Chain A
Amino acid sequence: MSAPGTLPFCLRLLRRQLVLAFRRPIEIGNPLLFFAMVVALFPLGLGPAPEQLSGFAPGILWIIALLSNLLTSDAVFRSDFEDGSLEQLLLSPQPLFLSVLAYIAAHWLVTGVLLALVSPVFALMLNLPVQAVGVLVASLLLGSAVLSLVGCIGAALTVGLKRGGMLISLLILPFYMPVLIFGSAAVQGAVTGVPAGPYLAILGAMLCLAIALAPLAIAAGLRISVDA
């Protein structure tokens, strides 16, 4: 008997992570609840004038998506670190680059993709013009994948620390900025009638770069965290 192929192994990891996530639905619900709460609070703080809200909507929606991603990325490797599974992952004969991508894909599916799918509801609550909703979903899908990839670098570096939450924010927030800028600019563009294509293309380019480089950094970060 030989070791499973790389692709079947990665799919198995993805399935494992998804099953683990769905057996603890509260972890999936938390970011969505956070999203809903903040969206509901903004009109109370800014005043309920519809024109004003729709002007702020792209920025608000993107900032909340970013923060809820930040809240969840801390936990990606934590339970595996605590119960020793991470050591086994590092010793596995499989390429760590791709195993790490499977972990990130699972994280993206239960945070970024879910947020992007429910975002039209929140967009309507903030009176975002209907023609911008498609771009919002597309930009969130692309952007949240970049956020997950970058967030996992911070998670890998801080997984060995008892209280890594604040440190992770300091480490990775600077790398979140470009995603926020181009993501909200894409939606803003769609609102004002500017073509959103170039912004989405830049987000796509960031995603390609992140897929190529982030797993290397994550793998190195995990090895350092387990070694320490």
Chain B
Amino acid sequence: MPDTPTAHRPLLSASGLSLERGGRELFSALSFEVLPGHLLQIEGANGAGKTSLIRILAGLSRYGFTGSVTRHAPLLYLGHQAGVKALLTPRENLAWHVGGEGDYDDERIRDALARVGLYGYENVPSHALSAGQHRRVNLARLYLSESPLWLLDEPFTAIDRSGVLDLENLLVEHVERGGAVVMTSHQALQVTYEVRFLSLLEGLRL
């Protein structure tokens, strides 16, 4: 973690988060902070409330829970759905993305697509791509993004083994640059970086 004054300012802080769904308490009084350099993995079984938590952190869920979330930095959220339009090419999907994060020229987009293994597919209609390739088009946004905080919901779904390896390296690069990642996954990350775990029942643990 770089030793700068901003290194200890949280990118995201959550306090006292509680959520109840269908009469069942998913988590209660969950408080934590995400600092630059944190690689945080949310743990929990299927239906434990991981996706609900990450949607609350992103600001997509605004009702039905108690507690508060403060976001101090721009964030990039990648959810279950790829958000890739079948009628647009991968290049158009990224250049005209509704996320409106930045202006990307063709070269940057080509580079980003090459990094996710879609070199040569820039101008192929996306309906000709497989589900895994759709996910990869979406992951290319991580290479373009300048948001310090990434919220990733199951980023490894439908990604092949080499893609998972690339993605793990990218996540480490990002946190080493002073960004932060909050992610859900059932796989253990194979990285040589300190991964923090957030258990929905027990809270933050190392």
Partner of B101, one of A19, A93, A226: A93
Residue of A nearest to B151 (CB): A91
B45 interface residue per 8 A CB criterion: no
Q: Establish whether residues A16 and B81, one from each chain, have CB atoms under 8 Å apart when the complex forms.
A: no
Q: Establish whether residues A227 and B61, one from each chain, have CB atoms under 8 Å apart when the complex forms.
A: yes
Q: How large is the interface on A (under 10, 10 to 19, 20 to 34, 35 or more residues)?
A: 20 to 34
B30 interface residue per 8 A CB criterion: no
Given A23-B87, A24-B87; A89-B81 close (CB under 8 Å): no
Q: Establish whether residues A92 and B99, one from each chain, have CB atoms under 8 Å apart when the complex forms.
A: yes
Which residues 2-39 of A sit at the B interface, judged by CB distance below 8 A?
2-4, 8-9, 12-13, 15-16, 19-20, 23-24
Measured between alpha carbons, how far is A86 from B102 in the docked complex, in Å?
17
Most A CB within 10 A of own CB, among B58, B64, B81, B88: B81
Measured between alpha carbons, how far is A206 from B58 in the docked complex, in Å?
37
Given A3-B101, A88-B83, A93-B74; A227-B63 close (CB under 8 Å): yes
Q: Establish whether residues A92 and B98, one from each chain, have CB atoms under 8 Å apart when the complex forms.
A: yes
Q: Establish whether residues B100 and A9, one from each chain, have CB atoms under 8 Å apart when the complex forms.
A: yes
Chain B interface, DSSP helix/strand/loop, else mixed: loop
Encoded as 1 (CB less than 8 Å from any A CB) or 0, chain B from 81 to 116 comes to: 111110110001001111111110000000000000
Q: How far is the CB of A152 from chain B (nearest CB, A)?
A: 16
Q: Establish whether residues B102 and A1, one from each chain, have CB atoms under 8 Å apart when the complex forms.
A: yes
Q: Establish whether residues B80 and A12, one from each chain, have CB atoms under 8 Å apart when the complex forms.
A: no
Residue of A nearest to B80 (CB): A84
Residue of B nearest to A15 (CB): B96
Residue of A nearest to B98 (CB): A89
Q: Establish whether residues B77 and A223, one from each chain, have CB atoms under 8 Å apart when the complex forms.
A: no
Measured between alpha carbons, how far is A19 from B91 in the docked complex, in Å?
14
A94 interface residue per 8 A CB criterion: yes
Q: Establish whether residues B103 and A4, one from each chain, have CB atoms under 8 Å apart when the complex forms.
A: yes
A52 interface residue per 8 A CB criterion: no
Q: How far is the CB of A119 from chain B (nearest CB, A)?
A: 28
Partner of A13, one of B82, B83, B98, B146: B98
Encoded as 1 (CB less than 8 Å from any B CB) or 0, chain A from 94 to 124 comes to: 1000010000000000000000000000000
Partner of B96, one of A2, A16, A91, A92: A16
A selection of 8 A-B contacts at a CB cut-off of 8 Å is A3-B102, A8-B103, A82-B81, A84-B79, A84-B80, A87-B79, A88-B83, A89-B99
Known: A16-B98, A88-B97. 18 other contacts (CB 8 A): A3-B100, A4-B100, A16-B88, A16-B92, A19-B96, A23-B87, A83-B83, A83-B84, A84-B79, A85-B98, A87-B77, A88-B83, A91-B75, A92-B98, A92-B101, A93-B101, A99-B100, A223-B62
Which residue numbers of B lie inside 8 Å of A, CB to CB? 58-64, 74-75, 77, 79-85, 87-88, 92, 95-103, 146
Which residue numbers of A lie inside 8 Å of B, CB to CB? 1-4, 8-9, 12-13, 15-16, 19-20, 23-24, 79-80, 82-94, 99, 223, 226-227
